[in-house]
Amino acid sequence: VSFLLLCFRPPLVTVLIFGLLLQAPLTQLSTITQPNFVLLLADDLGIGDVGCYGNDTIRTPNIDRLAKEGVKLTQHIAAAPLCTPSRAAFLTGRYPLRSGMDAVNDYRVIFWNAGSGGLPPNETTFAKILQQQGYSTGLIGKWHQGVNCESRNDHCHHPLKHGFDYFYGMPFTLISDCQPTETPEMDRAFRKKLWLSTQMIGLITLTAVLGRLTGLISVHWKMLTCLAGFSLLFFVSWFSSYGFVRYWNCIMMRNHGITEQPMVTDRTTSLILRESISFIERNKHRPFLLFLSFLHSHTPLLTTEKFLGRSRHGLYGDNVEEMDWMVGQVLDTIDKEGLTDTTLVYFASDHGGWLERQEGERQLGGWNGIYKGGKAMGGWEGGIRVPGIFRWPGVLPAGTVIDEPTSLMDIYPTLVHLAGGAVPQDRVIDGRDLLPLLRGTVPHSEHQFLFHYCGAHLHAARWHQKDTGAVWKAHYVTPIFSPPGAGACYDRGFCPCFGEGVTHHDPPLLFELSQDPSEAKPLSADTEPLFDTVIRKIGRAIEEHGRTLTPVPEQLSVSNVVWKPWLQPCCGTFPFCWCDKEGDN
């Protein structure tokens, strides 16, 4: 009998262990009906800036820890290459074109807190559905989806109107204008033209006055008065907005109230971290959603003294390493409160790194690894392929890498499903529930096609041929790099979506990304037997996709993005807007 027990024990133990391994995740999922969600979204972070995606010079141990303990996605795609449209798609699970959050003009993001455009009130965010499911929902950090519509306090685009119970952060986005010591960033080229025009008008006015005084020019004083008045009005018309960008755009809010105007950048990082940790601690006894929308790693790269000079990549590297430390602090709080096994943590970036962002010899933008292009480029992988990491111990298999096309829009149905809600049935939802793919119960992503827009202009589309594993990508429009061959639009600062700065391709450029992820060798009918078949297949998909689009108001039209003084959030009596309630506390 002993001999028989010894002989049969190993197989019996093996069967038991195997059974437990199979059942543990399913048991965890069935017992956790409403997990907590912590969404960590970086700003302008390149996929090549993170250790677990191949960077061995910027230290990101906490983000790497998430990947080690969870699931890493290698083809995680943003729906747009810029902040406002990408985040709109993330929040709604829909291509930004469907909500009017992509532009037909050059104004591709929200430019002012006092603009009237923003995420429409009739859009349903995942936060709104989770709120209805009993979740406590909080947004800490960057919003950049608009504030008001018709009056200074209607808050029609505000986070609290879109399903968040609590908001602390910037309603706008971080820009170099927020840092008094930095060179102004916002609309820099346009501002230079305005200054030049003002100087020319002023010079003409001064010349006319001197000519009249010396008798060289016969002009009536009434005409000179009108000319001088016009010069003054022209200057005031633009300087009242662009001359006070720091006061109008660089503000911090708590819910509907302004806490800092302008923001005190030296303490912004510590306040955002404090608010994030406090939100978790306050809501640990009920299901919660924390959307920590980092201001890192957008210029002016606000970095505390503790991290300055620590990295091998200057201020940008310092800033990324500080963000990683903040991720670690949030994870430590989750662990300390005993929430690790009941919390799904997600980390990503809103789009690729900004290659053109430089000041002299300083590189202030991110790196996109082996992928061509970057921020603002709607087609090239460097602008839209981003880090994507999920961790949920006991439910998602640790140390897993998934090389399937996924989208930031997939977060929407994934969260809604896990929270016990239902996605809206009255509109197209472009995201797909990722849970089966993350848990390994299905081998492939549900996405067969993904469409890549630059503003409202379709630049590229990809087809995931699941039976072969091929990922075909067709480029119909590409930006013209300047200088030629530079890999970015350094002469412009941003690559355009249309006009003289782009090239239209007929037939389109075709790449097979599983074989050529860097998009270095375009295929042709001579080199690829399936060329015509693939182009036709993608073309038909684009036509079908186009039929699902319906006209909606353009939120980023010129009339919606311009500065409107009557919409300006103001701590005080406009135009005397100033306060520091954090300093008072």
The secondary element (H helix, E strand) that includes residue 576 is strand 576-577
Chain centre distance of CA 141: 12
Q: Are strands 166-170 and 136-142 parallel, antiparallel or unpaired?
A: parallel
Q: Nearest CA to 38 among 136, 172, 146? A: 136
List CB contacts of 17: < 8 A, sequence separation 6 or more. Answer: none
Q: Nearest CA to 375 among 172, 84, 82? A: 82
Token pair of 456 as six digits:
């409202």
The secondary element (H helix, E strand) that includes residue 401 is strand 400-407
**Any idea which residue has 């010894």 for tokens?**
6
Contact 213, 261 (CB under 8 A): no
DSSP category for residue 289? E
Contact 160, 145 (CB under 8 A): no
Q: Could you give the dihedral angle defined by the CA atoms of residues 178, 179, 184 and 186, in that order, rounded to the nearest 10 degrees?
A: -20
Mind telling me the catalytic residues? Answer: 83, 144
Token pair of 96 as six digits:
């930004």
CB atoms under 10 Å from CB of 584, counted, come to 7
Q: What does the alpha-carbon distance between residue 424 and residue 403 come to, in Å, rounded to a whole number?
A: 29
Sign of the C-alpha dihedral computed for residues 360, 361, 366 and 371 taken in this order: positive
Amino acid at position 49, single letter: D
List CB contacts of 96: < 8 A, sequence separation 6 or more. Answer: 79, 80, 84, 85, 86, 88, 89, 102, 453
Kindly calculate the radius of gyration of the chain based on its CA atoms and give it in whole angstroms: 26
Q: What does the alpha-carbon distance between residue 318 and residue 320 come to, in Å, rounded to a whole number?
A: 6
Token pair of 384 as six digits:
């839209």
Q: What does the alpha-carbon distance between residue 331 and residue 317 come to, in Å, rounded to a whole number?
A: 21
Amino acid at position 84, single letter: T
Q: Phi and psi of 389, rounded to 5°?
A: -135, 135
Amino acid at position 550, single letter: T
Q: What does the alpha-carbon distance between residue 145 and residue 410 come to, in Å, rounded to a whole number?
A: 19
Q: Phi and psi of 470, rounded to 5°?
A: -70, 145
